[in-house]
Structure 1
Amino acid sequence: MHKISNNSVQKTSLSWFVWSYIKPKWGLVCLSLIFMAIEGSMLGLISYSVKELFDSVFVPQDRSSVWFVGILIFSIFSIRAIAGFLQRSLILKAGIEIVSKIQKDISAHIVDLDYEFFFKNSPGDLIERIKGDGQIIQVNFVQIVMALGRDTVSLAALLTVAFWIDWKWAIISLLGLPILIIPILLLQKFIHSISRKSRVSSARTTTLLDEAFHGVASIKLNGIEKYIKDRLNKVIDRTRDAWFGAELGVAGMPALIDLVAALGFLGVMVFGGMEIIDGKKSIGDFMSFFTAMALIFEPLRRLSNVSGQLQLLNASLDRLHYVYKFSPKISNRIDQKTSRLSKSKSYLEFQNVSLNYGEENILSGISMKIE
C-alpha cells in the first residue's frame, strides 16, 4: 500500500476537518453563533439588573418600580431561552450533517482500497473509526463551538459589568488566573495522549467482539470460551482505564478554575466588604458584582474544558484522517481509445504478471496467452 500525495493528506487533521467539512456548513455555523452571542450577552444584563433590583426597589422600598424591574428580568430570561433553543438546534444540525458527510466519504474511500489495507486493518478497527470516532467528533465539535460562541460572549459581558461596578474588585478576583497556565498546558498534553490510547483500546474491543461473535461456532466447537472471555475482559479493562483517565483530565480543568474562584471571592469579600461598611459602595453594587462573578466562573469553566475537548476531537480526527494516507494501487480504468477487436483476432494475453499477498510474493513473472 503506498501513500498518496493529495491535499487532504498534506493538511493536518484539524485543518482538513475545517476546510473540507466545516467550511461548506459555514452559513449554518455562523447563524448559530449569532444566537449564541445573544444568549451569552443576556447573562451580563441579568447581573446588572440585580443592581437595579436592590438599589431601585428593595433598599428604597419603591413599590412603583417592582413591575418595571420584574418585567425587565422576565424579558431577559425569555430572550435567552429562545436564543438558546435556536442556537442549539442549528449547531446540532450542522454537527450531525458534518459527521454524516465524513462517515460517507471515509466509508467510500475504504471500500475502494486494496485488499492489503484490510489485511493490515481489522474490520472492528475500521468500524470503530467510522462510527465511534465520528460520534466523538460530533459531540466535541458542538460543545467546542457552543463554548467559544456563547461562553466567550458571556465572559465578556460579565467582565464588563464587573469592571463597570468596580475595576479594583474585578482585578482582585482574577489575580489567580496566571497561576493556571502551566497546569493547563500539562493537562492538555496528558489528555491528548490518554485520548489516543482510549480510542485504540476501544477499537481493539470492537475487533475482538466482532471476531468472537462471527466465530462463535468455532469457539464452542473447540471449547475455548474461557480463553475468549479472558481476552475480552483484559481489553475492556484497558479501555475502561484509558477512558477514565481521559475524563479525569477533562474534569481537572474546571477544578482548577474553581480553586482560583475561591481565592478571588475571598479577596473581594474582604476588600469589598469593608467599602460597603464604610458606605463607599451600595448594596446593589455589591450584589450585582457578586452575581456577575458567580456567573462568570461557569462559562470560564466551560471554556477551560475546550482545550481538553479539542484534544479529544484531534485524537479522533487523527484516526479518521489516517485512512486518507492510503490509496488503491490498482485502478480499473477503461481506455476509451482502445478499438474493439474483431472476433477472429480476439485473444487475452498476460505478460510478466506478479501477485503479492501482504508482504509475501505468490506469483512472479507469469506470462500466458489465451486465444
Structure 2
Amino acid sequence: MNDSFKHSWQVYRRLLAYIQRYWKVLILSLISMTIAALTEAAFARLLKPLIDGGFVSKDPDTIRWVPLAIIGVFMLRGLTSFINEYTASWLTGRLVQTLREEMFAKLLRLPVSFYDESQSGRLISRIANDVNQVTEAGFNVITVAVKDGVTTLGLLALLLYTDWQLTLICFVVMPAVTACMHFVGKRLRGLARENQLRMAQMTQVVSESIDCQKVVKIYGGESYEIGRFHEAADALRRNQVKQSAASSANTGVTQLMIACALAAILYFAALRAQHGDFSAGDFMSFLTAMMLLFAPIKRITGISQALQRGLAAAETIFQFLDEPEEKNAGATMLHRTRGELEMVNLSFSYPGVEKRALQGINLAIRAGETVALVGSSGSGKTTLASLVPRFYEPDSGLLLLDGKPLSDYALPALRQQIALVSQDVVLFNDTVAANIAYGALNQVSREEVIEAARAANALDFIEALPQGFDTEIGENGTRLSGGQRQRLAIARALLKNAPLLILDEATSALDTESERLVQAALDNLMKNRTTLVIAHRLSTIEQADRIVVMHQGEIVESGTHQSLLAAAGFYARLHSMQFTE
C-alpha cells in the first residue's frame, strides 16, 4: 500500500466521520439504495419466464403473474429510489453545513498573523466552493459505490447463474479497467488541486476589485483588472478542459474494453443458442442483464474524477481546520482590571522579517494614565499596541497586566477589558443600534445605546437619519461620513466601558469640524481609563499624562509635552516639522 493511497484513505476516513454522526439516516439510505439496486437484476430475471412461459409455452398463469411482478418491482424501485435520493440529499446538505460552520468558527479563532499571510479570496473560496466539491467525495461516491456496486454484483450473479462460462469473459477486462482508473485518478487529483487554486485567484481578483472600486475608477484600472480577471478565468477554463479530457479518455477507454467483452459474449451466446443449450428466455434475460450492467460500470468508472476532485478539496479544508489557533492557555479570569500595564524588555518580529519590529521595550503605565505613542511611520507604535489585546505574541520579554503576564489570563476575559478605536473604523451592514451594541454588548437596553451615542456626540446625526437608530448603514458604513463612522466606533467603545482603551490614530483622517466633535467624544471616552494613544497629529496628544517617542522599534524619549520640547530631541523635531507644515 503506497503512501498516496494511505493519505487518500486517511482523508476519506476523516470525511466519513462527519457522515457517521447521522448513522440512522445513513443506514436507511444504504438499505433503500441496496433494494433499489437489486430490482435491476430482478427485472432481468423476470424476462426468462415471460419469454419462455408466455411467448414460447403460452402458459396463461405466467402471462398473468409476470406483468404484475414487473409492476411490483418498479413500484418498489420507485419507492426505495425516492427514499435513497431524499436521505442522500439530506446527508450531503448536513455535511456541507457542518463543514462550513466549522470552517467559519475556525476562521474566527485563528490568530491575526494568519490573516496577514492569507488571501481573503482564497479563504472565501474554501468556504463557498471547496465544501461543495467535498460532497462528491463524501456521500455521492458512497451512493455510486454502493448502489451501482450492488447492481453490478446482482447482475453478475444473474449472469453467472444463467451461464457461468459466458460470464467469465466479463472478468477478463476487470484488471485492465482498474489499472486505467488508477492511472487517470492520479492525474485528476493534481488537476483538482490546481482548479481550487485557480478558483481562489479568480475570487481574489473579484474581491479586490469590489473593495478597491474607487481606486480602480480614479486611476483608470478597469482594463488592468479586466486583464487580471481574464487571465484567472482563462486558467480556470483550461484546467477544467484538462479535467474533462482526462475523465473522458478514461471513460472512453473503459467503455471500449467493456464493449469488446460484450461483443465476445454475444458471439458465444449465439453459438450456444444454435446448439439448444440456451433457451430464448435465457438469452433475453442474459442480454438484458448484460446491457443493464453497462450503465452502473460506466458510473463506477466515472466516479474517479468526482472522488479525486472531492479528496483534493477535502485536503485543503482539513489543512485549514488543522491550522494552529490563537494561544489561549491562560485560566485566570478578570472581573475588572485596574489597568496597570508593564512591558519588560519586550521584543517582537513579524514572521519572515529579519528586522525586529520592537526591540527591548521597557514601559510602565499606571492605572488611569493616558500614554501617547508617537514617532515616524514604521517605528512600532501600532505593533506595540497590538500586543496588549494579544493580537500578536512577543518573541521575548514580558507584558504584564495588574502584575500578571497576559498569557496567564483567559483570552476572552482579557479582551473583555479592552476597547479599541482605530483610524480604519470597522462597521457591519446592519442598523446603527446593532453596530453600537455589537457582539457581547447586544443585551444592553436601547436607553444605554442612546446614552453612549450622546456621549460620543453622535445622537444628533443618528436622529436625523431616516429610521434613526434602526437605519441600515451599508457595508462598512458607506452611507455615513468618516466623522460619523468614527463617532459610532467611539459610542461602541463607550458602551463597552472597558478599563483599558487603545486609540489608534482615531482622528488622523478627519476634517477640522469632525475632528473637534470626535476629539470631544474621545475626551469623554478616556475619563477614568488607562489609555494608550497612537497619534500622528501631535496637537491631539499635548494633554497626555506622558508621551513616549518611538524610533525603529525602540523607545528613545519619554516625558510630558513641555519636557520633551525642552529636551530638543526627537519629539521636538517632529513637533517642529508639523508646526512648520
Q: Is TM (by shorter chain) over 0.5?
A: yes
Corresponding position of 2:198: 201
Question: For the residues of structure 1 that align with 2:182 and 2:137, how far apart are their CA atoms?
Answer: 19
What residue identity is the alignment partner of 1:370? Answer: I
SS of 2:236 mapped into structure 1: helix
Structure 1 residue ranges without an equivalent (≥5): 1-10
User: Which range moves more in the overlay, 258-267 or 324-333?
Assistant: 324-333
Match status 1:364 vs 2:362: no
TM-superposed CA distance for 1:173, in Å, is: 3.6
Alignment of 1:232-243 (within 5 A): 232-243=229-240
TM-superposed CA distance for 1:71, in Å, is: 0.5
Corresponding position of 2:65: 68
SS of 2:178 mapped into structure 1: helix
Corresponding position of 2:11: 13
Higher helix fraction (1 or 2): 1
Corresponding position of 1:316: 313
Corresponding position of 2:88: 91
**CA deviation vs aligned residue, 1:256-300 (integer Å, no higher than 9, x gap):** 332122112211222110121222211110110010011112111
TM-superposed CA distance for 1:96, in Å, is: 1.0
What residue identity is the alignment partner of 2:132? Answer: Q
Kindly, what percent of the aligned residue pairs are identical? 23
Question: For the residues of structure 2 that align with 1:43 and 1:329, how far apart are their CA atoms?
Answer: 55
Q: Which has the higher contact order (CA 8 A, sep 6+)?
A: 1
Structure 2 residue ranges without an equivalent (≥5): 1-8, 367-581
SS of 2:277 mapped into structure 1: coil
Contact 2:20 2:26 in 1 (8 A): no
Please point out which of 347, 350, 365 is paired with 2:343: 350
Alignment of 1:59-208 (within 5 A): 59-208=56-205
Structure 2 length-normalised TM: 0.58
Change (3 A) 1:76 1:284: same
Contact 2:35 2:77 in 1 (8 A): yes
Please point out which of 23, 29, 37 is paired with 2:20: 23
Contact 1:128 1:202 in 2 (8 A): yes
Contact 1:172 1:268 in 2 (8 A): yes
Contact 1:257 1:300 in 2 (8 A): no
Structure 1 length-normalised TM: 0.90
Question: For the residues of structure 1 that align with 2:359 and 2:307, how far apart are their CA atoms?
Answer: 49
Corresponding position of 1:6: none
Which of these two proteins has the greater Rg computed from alpha carbons? 2
What residue identity is the alignment partner of 1:265? Answer: L
**CA deviation vs aligned residue, 1:206-234 (integer Å, no higher than 9, x gap):** 11111112111101111121111111101
Question: For the residues of structure 1 that align with 2:350 and 2:29, how far apart are their CA atoms?
Answer: 51
SS of 1:365 mapped into structure 2: strand
Match status 1:227 vs 2:220: no
SS of 1:351 mapped into structure 2: strand
TM-superposed CA distance for 1:12, in Å, is: 4.0
**CA deviation vs aligned residue, 1:71-122 (integer Å, no higher than 9, x gap):** 0001001101100110111121111112211111111111111121112111
SS of 1:326 mapped into structure 2: coil
SS of 2:357 mapped into structure 1: strand
Question: For the residues of structure 2 that align with 1:359 and 1:263, how far apart are their CA atoms?
Answer: 60
Contact 1:355 1:364 in 2 (8 A): yes
Contact 1:254 1:302 in 2 (8 A): no
Question: For the residues of structure 1 that align with 2:72 and 2:350, how far apart are their CA atoms?
Answer: 70
Question: For the residues of structure 2 that align with 1:340 and 1:40, how far apart are their CA atoms?
Answer: 65
Question: For the residues of structure 1 that align with 2:345 and 2:22, how far apart are their CA atoms?
Answer: 50
SS of 2:343 mapped into structure 1: strand
TM-superposed CA distance for 1:315, in Å, is: 0.2
Corresponding position of 1:50: 47
Please point out which of 234, 244, 248 is paired with 2:245: 248
TM-superposed CA distance for 1:333, in Å, is: 4.2
CA RMSD of superposed structures (Å): 2.2
Match status 1:267 vs 2:260: no
Contact 2:136 2:306 in 1 (8 A): no
What residue identity is the alignment partner of 1:110? Answer: L
User: Which range moves more in the overlay, 63-72 or 244-253?
Assistant: 244-253
Contact 1:99 1:134 in 2 (8 A): yes
